[in-house]
Every structure is written in structure tokens, then in C-alpha cells.
Structure 1
């Protein structure tokens, strides 16, 4: 009993470290969306250039996940996650103090590469500590770190923005760097008798340790992989559109004050927190642990939420808050399900030890949708208006739901515990 009690304390401690560390990396993602207007005014940047700044971060973030996603399988979650956090902090520490646009793009590029492997490493490190009948709930809770991190990052950036937008990066970089050191020190795997990857066969584990990381052929041999990756592509494209452009939309189109727009944009993240926690529980309780089916309904709900937000946008703050919350609940909650429990189960399909590779690939391929988001949304907003942006998000969310329906029909067993 004493051993089990001590193990539970270690589980909680490792989870809290992972949760706090992943939340912290958003301190180096969120500020850019909030300071765009200031950068545009001070540096004379065009809307299109602001879009390319999004792409400078997101392109390497997506590509490195797809190409290097096996690093967590090969090097281990602790070393991969901690090192990437330190590199991310180093790349963004001086970001606010430069005026050279190409250099800013280069620093964002380095930050994208550095952050690309952190989520896959975090999930891989956590699932080893918890049994299968707890993993959907645990990963749902872990997914809230992204949205709480976004909220805290927005509030921090708004506060620092009052001093000047150039001060929004150095202090957050120091925090991320410190947590990266703690990860290298403390984020260790459980003793073998407590490891909950027993459904992964020994041959697969040995191949990864010897450096035989999974290739694309192996990844795409997994049933339902292609459809799940496509659904993630669309879901993240919509999520990053909201993450990067919502404050500007609230400021320009709905005429909120700059601080109000920054704080109101966090309602979408608050909805994401609620969705991440709730969808895993809902899948277990009402969908017989069929995460893909539950997530499909959630994505369909997001299409309704985006349209309702658009059509009631001029009705006042109460309606804005309500439908931003619902949009965040359904879209961000779906993102967490796809890149967490669904991807983790696909990585263990048929005894494979490919969780890091599969999570990285799905998350990276999904983030490729966010690559197109930057210049595409900038172009649509400037040429056709903000209403067209919401119609595009509605269409993409609907196609994502249809793709998950196909994945459900091909591989229903991969998403059950």
C-alpha cells in the first residue's frame, strides 16, 4: 500500500511538471498575436508581412514534427522535451529588441523548430505513468495546459504590453528556460514495474532503442492514420486562425479597445480548457470510449458555433463571450482529442511502439494547416472582409468532421481503451 501511495504521488508530481511546462511554452507563442498591431504601427509592416511572421513559426514547427517526431521514441521524452524548451527560450529572449524583419523571421523559425517536439514528448512521457483506463482522462487534463497557457500568456502579454510590446518576450523566455532545466532533472520514466506501455511488444521497444525510428511507410500503414491526420490539418487551421487573428478582428471589426480585445480573445481558450477536460470524459461515459466518434460530433458543433458567433457578433459582449466559449469548447477540445488520446492509441496499434512518431506526425501534419492560415487569412481578410474568414473556418471544420467519420469506419478499434 505504501508503494502504491508513493507511486501515485510520483504520478501527480510528473503530471504537474508536464502540465506546467507545456502551458509555459505558450508564453512564447501567444504574445505575437497580441502585439501585431503595435508592430505594424511602429515598424510599418503590412498585413501580409504579419501573416508571414505566423508562417515563419508554424512552417518549421509542422515540418520538424513530421520529420523528427521519432526523437522522443529514440532519445526519450525527458531529454527531448527539456532540450527543446531551452532552445525555444534562447531563440525568443531577444526577439522584442530587433527591428530587422528578416531577423525576426529567423528567430521565429528557430522557435518553431524548438517547440515542434515538445507536445509529442510530453504525451509520451505521461502515458508511461498511467494505465489505459485513465489515459483519455489524463490526456484530456494535460490538453488543458495549452489553453490555460494561452490564457496566462495573453494576460501576461497584455500586462507587459502596457510597458511596451518589446518587453513581451524576455521574461517569458526566462520562465520557459527555467522549466526546461526542471524537466531535464525531474521528468523521468517510471520504474519498469509501474510502466503502463505493456501492450507495446518488446521487439518494437528494442528496435526504437537501437535507433530504428519508424519511417513514413510504417506510419501510414496504421489504419485510420491518413484520415486522422487530415482532420487534424483542418482543426488546427481553424484553431490557429482564432489564435493569431481573433484579437485583431475584435479590435478592427467589432471596435473593442486594444486591451479589451486581448482579454476577450482568451474566452476562446477558456472554452478550450472546458472542452479538453469534458470531451475525454464524455467519450468514456457516453460513447463507449470511442474518441473519434465523440470528436466528430464536437467538430460538427464547432461549425454551428462559428456561424452563431458571426451572425450575433454585433449583439454585444454577452453574445460574443457565449459563442466564443462554445467555439473554443468544440474546436480546441477536438484538437486535444485528436493529438492526445486518438494519436496515442494509433501509435500503439497492433503492439507498435510509435507513440512519439505518430503523435508528432499527426500534430505536425495538422499544424501544416496553420502554415496556410497565415498568408491565406491575411489575404482573405484584406480582400474580402472578415465575414469571409468565418465562412472558410465553417467549411474547413465541416470537412474535418467528415474525415474523422471515414477514420472511424476504417479503424474503430484503435480508439478504444
Structure 2
């Protein structure tokens, strides 16, 4: 593969990431579960990378499709982690709405990402001399570790979801019926 073709192919990873970012944001908004969405995308990136390593060289079409799928799952949760999760952490009740704390949390998350962005290529260069399987193993371990780091937030989101009454349930219907009865009786009393 020529250098130009490799460069063009690598942009497909970013294109998949753009699609993944929009998709992750949409799913996160629908489910109201940012950390769970981000962790799910990170864990889905593991089989995507395994498939890419195993089948990406079969044909140019497979290479393109699998590269975009890997980008979707690897880069998709990035926006959730850097913006939404940092906003959640920065507005935590223990910080009492301190806007400077939000800026500090965001800077820590972005700074940590920058350290990873600086060290990633160095480690990749070192591991690529041992073979591409080592590089893909590093990426898989990194995705798994990132998912584990979100585990506490995921557990809290799930606990919160199960502690709330389900919408449209018996309690809501009884409350609605009670409100209608109260309104009816107050109208008759006037």
C-alpha cells in the first residue's frame, strides 16, 4: 500500500469517529446514561479491533469498512468523556457548584488525554518492532482499562436508573388518577 493510500485510509478512522461521536451523543441523550454509553462503546471497540486485525487485510473494501467501525467505537465516546463526564464530575454536589472546579476537572481530563496522545505513538513505535499483534494488544488493553475506569460511574448510573419508578407505571397512573379526582372535587366545591 502506498503512503498516500495509507494516509487516505487513516482518515476513514476519523470519519468513523465523527459518526461515532454523533451516535454516542444521541444514545447518551436518549438513555440519559453518559458513562454507560461511553463504556459500551469502549468495550465494543475491542471486537472491532480484533476483527480489523484479523480481516482488514482481506480486501480494500473490508479494510475500509472495518477501519470506520473501529473509529466509530474507539473515537465515539471521546466527546462524552471529555465534555459530558467532566461536566458531571465538575458539578458534583461536593464541589458546591464551583465553576472553577469544573474548569479544573476539564483541564485534568484533557491533560490526561494529551499525555496519552503523546505517549501512544511512542509506545506504538516501540511495540510495532515486535509485530502488529503487540500494537493491537496494547490498543485492546487500553480500551478495556478505559472501560474499567468508567465502571464506578456506570454502576452509579445503573443504580440511579433502577431506583427511580419506571415511567407509565402503576404509581404514575395512580398519581394521575388522584390528581384528576382532586381537580374534579375542587371544581364541584366552587
Work out whether 1:370 is the aligned partner of 2:113: no
Deviations along 1:247-302, one digit per CA (max 9) or x if unpaired, are xxxxxxxxx111111111100000111011111111122x2x11001111110111
Structure 2 spans left out of the alignment, 5+ residues: 161-190
- The two structures, once aligned, show a CA RMSD in angstroms of 1.9
Structure 1 spans left out of the alignment, 5+ residues: 1-255
Match of 2:12 in 1: 267
Q: For 1:280 and 1:368, how far apart are their aligned partners in 2?
A: 25
1:280 pairs with one of 15, 21, 25: 25
- The answer as to whether partners of 2:13 and 2:72 remain within 8 angstroms in 1 is yes
Equivalent runs, 1:74-223 vs 2, <5 Å: none
The Cα shift of 1:324 comes to 0.9
Secondary structure, counterpart of 1:314 in structure 2 = coil
Work out whether 1:356 is the aligned partner of 2:99: no
Q: For 1:413 and 1:355, how far apart are their aligned partners in 2?
A: 24
Match of 1:388 in 2: 134
Match of 1:112 in 2: none
- The answer as to whether partners of 2:36 and 2:157 remain within 8 angstroms in 1 is no
TM-score (norm 2): 0.76
Decide which structure has the larger Cα Rg and report it.
Answer: 2
Match of 2:71 in 1: 328
The Cα shift of 1:392 comes to 1.2
Q: For 2:13 and 2:121, how far apart are their aligned partners in 1?
A: 19
- Equivalent pairs counted in the alignment come to 156
Deviations along 1:223-253, one digit per CA (max 9) or x if unpaired, are xxxxxxxxxxxxxxxxxxxxxxxxxxxxxxx
TM-score (norm 1): 0.36
